[in-house]
Amino acid sequence: MARKPADKPKANIPELTKDQELAAFRDMLLIRRFEEKAGQMYGMGLIGGFCHLYIGQEAVVTGVTMASHKGKDAQITGYRDHGHMLVMGLDPKGVMAELTGRQGGLSKGKGGSMHMFSNEHRFYGGNGIVGAQVSLGTGLAFASKYRGDNTVSISYFGDGASNQGQVYESFNMAKLWNLPAVYIIENNRYGMGTAVTRASGQPNLSLRGVSFGIEGEQVDGMDVRMVHDAAKRAIEHARSGKGPYILEMLTYRYRGHSMSDPAKYRSKDEVSTMRAEHDPIEQVKARILDKRYGDEDWFKAVEAEIRAIVTEAADFATADTEPAPAELYTDVYVDGLGA
Amino acid sequence: MPITILMPALSPTMEEGKLAKWLVKPGDAVKPGDVLAEIETDKATMEVESVDTGTVGEIFVSEGTEAVKVNTPIATLLAEGEDASASPKAAPAPVAAPATTAPAPTAAAAPAQPGFTPQNDPDLPAGVEMVEITVRQALNEAMAEEMRRDGDVFVMGEEVAEYQGAYKITQGLLQEFGERRVIDTPITEHGFAGLGVGAAFAGLRPIIEFMTWNFAMQAIDQIINSAAKQLYMSGGQVTAPIVFRGPNGAASRVGAQHSQDYSSWYSSVPGLVVIAPYSAADAKGLLKAAIRSNNPVVFLENEILYGTTGLVPKVDDFVLPIGKARIAREGKDVTIVSFSMGMRYATQAAEKLVAAGVDVELIDLRTLRPMDSATVIASVKKTGRLVTVEEGWPQSGIGAELVARVVAEAFDYLDAPPVRVTGKDVPMPYAANLEKLALPSTDDVIAAVNAVTYRS
Ligand SMILES: Cc1ncc(C[n+]2csc(CCOP(=O)(O)OP(=O)(O)O)c2C)c(N)n1
Ligand SMILES: [Mg+2]
């Protein structure tokens, strides 16, 4: 497979500024700690159903969001969505309370882990059907162009999702109408238990737009600098009216597909090697120390700040009440329309 | 004989139009393809072309005439050597009949729909050993046995092979039958459902597993437009012996997009067989029947039932009849009809009701299409009271269908309005308390029985 080892010396590495490095570290750490907590709470029975953690993939959404107009550009993803919301600035308490199905959750407890949204932050979910977000994201791009509001739509989907037919129907329309759509393929090597090479005739997913005339790149998705740099290029391309762009982020999920995955399809060794040698957070941390952007005290302070946020979210999500029974029949139609 | 040119129809629904313009006049020589006239409707304009060589004879309808009925003679075309005097007089159109002779012909009435009489369950040999297995094992055994029996049967779907099935229904099949017959697909439901139907057209017997039926919505076009309608569209020529199977309905806390019951959707489609078993024995016997069926079968399982156990007879080849309901308990006070997961609520309710002195008759439909309404109607004629139980939404549900059939055929026997117990009329909420409220419960069934028996 065309994977670039991250430890190979890279030429012309697009460095981040000090502020960007520090912010990237903080955002990624928030995702990591939040997800670890969610995993614990699932184990305690506070979270039910499916719960897909983003641990290992933090650099992708962090680098892309950093390159976007946060809060203006639309973003949409599948069910592995907690990290996206945290980086986009949605309230961690609201996210966690949705995971526990409480009234203070972003969807009043009615959506769950896979279904959260925020018009204010232009986050459109939170989608449970593999591949559906690609057509929806293309529609968000259509609306941008229709309105001429100079925004871009960013759609995230997995290596597994990249085989769904509607992805290609969307690619075609996006190029046909030169929509400001950026497609981020989060290639974490597996769709559930199926390795990319067992699901894709052409495993280089950055080439999936070729027959539609859409440019694509393979990016080291464990290195937030590379993610940010490629995303800037892609977003600029889309925003300037040149149409869609595809980025295949080579990334890795450390945990099982969802909380109930025995993960027999890969070796423990593969996981520990990725963690030890390519961890996105450790990479930033090493650079921050190396360049003296921050010292151990700074890291301690950030850890403490993040822990406080996550603990507050977990406490809120545990203490909050379940939605009132009357909520059963609300939000089916607008304007109180009934069946 | 001169040829009569009739006012043509531009579309299947056009009844009349305007003769906008004549492009020829009597005496003009024309050949096939020459434009004779233009006609217009509110929707379109069309040119009337000559289909023959000849000379324009008489023109009956002058240009600019509105509301010319389709099939009205508008002109004649004379063959070589004919002259205009040979031309038949215009009108009356050959189809017009005097109003006094007979009532206007009406369209032929549709014939009555032929009924379907299902077979009874096979008699089991006396003293047959009953083995307790899970629904999961029952389904697994059914597939394995049919795959041993027929080399054309294969299984395809997401995670069915190396991962041994997302819900372990295909456990061990890859090991026994190899990767030619147990095939992992990419996440492409529409594609592999269609591929399966194509393979079935070519004579194979695919078992297409959907990880859950929620994802089959990606593929529903192939299930209905390609599989269900094929036999009819081909005039009985091309069959689609395929089984689509997987867990249907709510699991637990998986939210709106992963918790829908599709029973009534598929059960409304002619051409499909729809099976939704509850017990392990029915799961085994009916899945084997489904695989052998020459019709496309939608086989609706339930994730929560996979781990439940039941007694299955240990016989060589346990196949149950499609389309036959099972009377799970005989009684005379009230008829409860359910299927799949609904049977759990119904069974638990029946136990309590019987203990309280209500003699419940409990019917498990097992097959939703063809629907064994005869068994239900016979029961209601005995009890006079009907309660239906399902997890799906109320509107146009299985209960709605049962009630309609019972009211139509056993109206005089009813002692109370039938009551449907269903899932609530909302997408499935995630929150634990709301999910519980959204699903039917044993108490709901008891309350419904109390209502139809006027107890409280
Ligand atoms: C249409 C559809 N089919 C199947 C599923 C079940 N499913 C959920 S996630 C998943 C794997 C997706 O893999 P990938 O796109 O690589 O994303 P990842 O989980 O690795 O982030 C599958 C098969 C689904 N949710 N929707
Ligand atoms: Mg993946």
What is the whole-number distance in angstroms between the Cα of residue A250 and the centre of ligand 1?
17
Q: Which pair of tokens denotes residue A7?
A: 């430890």
* Residue A142: count of CB within 10 angstroms of its CB: 17
B185 interaction partners in chain A (CB closer than 8 Å): 199
Contact assessment for residue A310 and residue A37, using Cβ atoms and an 8 Å cutoff: yes
pLDDT value of position B94: 46
Q: Beta strands B205-209 and B360-364: pairing type? A: unpaired
Q: Tell me which ligand sits closest to the C-alpha of residue A129.
A: 1
Mutation to probe ligand 1, out of A192, A254, A265 (largest number of atoms < 8 A from CB): A192
Of A98, A128, A325, the CB nearest to B258: A128
pLDDT band of B92, cuts 50, 70, 90: very low
pLDDT band of B93, cuts 50, 70, 90: very low
What is the whole-number distance in angstroms between the Cα of residue B308 and the centre of ligand 2?
32
Q: List, for residues B200-254, the tens digit of each pLDDT value.
A: 999 999 999 999 999 999 999 999 999 999 999 999 999 999 999 999 999 999 9
> What's the whole-number mean pLDDT along residues B354-381?
98
* Residue B31: count of CB within 10 angstroms of its CB: 10
pLDDT value of position B81: 78
pLDDT value of position A262: 77
**CB A80 near ligand 1, within 6 Å:** yes
Burial B298-316 (b: 16+ CB within 10 A, else e): bbbbbbbbbeeebebeeee
pLDDT value of position B97: 44
**CB B390 near ligand 1, within 6 Å:** no
B162 interaction partners in chain A (CB closer than 8 Å): 193-194, 198, 265
Q: Where do we find the tokens 């928030």? A: A30
Q: Beta strands B326-329 and B360-364: pairing type? A: antiparallel
Assign residue A69 a region (left: φ > 0; alpha: ψ between -120 and 50; beta: otherwise). Answer: beta
For residues A268 and B103, the model is more confident at A268
B427 interaction partners in chain A (CB closer than 8 Å): 332
d(C-alpha A209, C-alpha A55), whole Å: 28
Could you tell me the sign of the dihedral formed by the alpha carbons of A155, A160, A161, A165, in that order? positive
B106 has a pLDDT exceeding 90: no
Residues of chain B with pLDDT > 70: what percent? 96
pLDDT value of position A9: 56
d(C-alpha B257, C-alpha B277), whole Å: 23
User: Do the Cβ atoms of B253 and A163 come within 8 Å?
Assistant: no
A1-10, B69-78, B385-394: least confidently modelled range: A1-10
User: At CB < 8 A and 24+ separation, what contacts does B398-402 make?
Assistant: B398/B263, B398/B264, B398/B267, B398/B339, B398/B365, B398/B368, B399/B337, B400/B264, B401/B264, B401/B267, B401/B371, B402/B337, B402/B371, B402/B373, B402/B376
pLDDT band of B103, cuts 50, 70, 90: confident
Q: Which of B345, B256, B366 is nearest to B301 (CA)?
A: B366
B55 has a pLDDT exceeding 50: yes
Contact assessment for residue B144 and residue B198, using Cβ atoms and an 8 Å cutoff: no
Of A111, A161, A192, the CB nearest to B430: A111
Q: Beta strands B73-78 and B130-134: pairing type? A: unpaired
User: Do the Cβ atoms of A265 and B425 come within 8 Å?
Assistant: no
> What's the whole-number mean pLDDT along residues B278-291?
98
Burial A326-337 (b: 16+ CB within 10 A, else e): ebbbeeeeeeee
Residues, chain B, total?
A: 456
A196-200, B51-55, B65-69, B301-305: least confidently modelled range: B51-55
**CB A129 near ligand 1, within 6 Å:** yes
d(C-alpha A117, C-alpha A15), whole Å: 32
Read off the amino acid at residue B414. Answer: L
Of B159, B166, B437, the CB nearest to A328: B437
Q: What is the pLDDT along chain A (339 residues), one digit of tens a residue?
A: 445 545 555 668 999 999 999 999 999 999 999 999 999 999 999 999 999 999 999 999 999 999 999 999 999 999 999 999 999 999 999 999 999 999 999 999 999 999 999 999 999 999 999 999 999 999 999 999 999 999 999 999 999 999 999 999 999 999 999 999 999 999 999 999 999 999 999 999 999 999 999 999 999 999 999 999 999 999 999 999 999 999 999 999 999 999 888 788 999 999 999 999 999 999 999 999 999 999 999 999 999 999 999 999 999 999 999 999 999 999 999 987 776
Contact assessment for residue B226 and residue B240, using Cβ atoms and an 8 Å cutoff: yes
What is the whole-number distance in angstroms between the Cα of residue A90 and the centre of ligand 2?
24
Contact assessment for residue A274 and residue A255, using Cβ atoms and an 8 Å cutoff: no
d(C-alpha B19, C-alpha A285), whole Å: 83
Burial B336-356 (b: 16+ CB within 10 A, else e): bbbbbbbbbbbbebbeebeee
Q: Return the beta strands (E) in B10-112 as ranges.
A: 16-22, 29-30, 35-40, 45-49, 54-59, 65-69, 73-78
pLDDT, chain B, mean: 94
Q: List, for residues B292-318, the tens digit of each pLDDT value.
A: 999 999 999 999 999 999 999 999 999
B98 has a pLDDT exceeding 50: no
pLDDT band of B89, cuts 50, 70, 90: low
Residues, chain A, total?
A: 339
Say whether B189 is catalytic: yes
Cis, peptide link before residue A126, omega less than 30° from 0: yes
> What's the whole-number mean pLDDT along residues B71-96?
70
d(C-alpha A151, C-alpha A271), whole Å: 37
Question: All domains of chain A, ordered by start, with CATH?
Answer: 18-317 (3.40.50.970)
ipTM surpassing 0.85: yes
Say whether B190 is catalytic: no
B438 interaction partners in chain A (CB closer than 8 Å): 328
What is the whole-number distance in angstroms between the Cα of residue A159 and the centre of ligand 1?
9
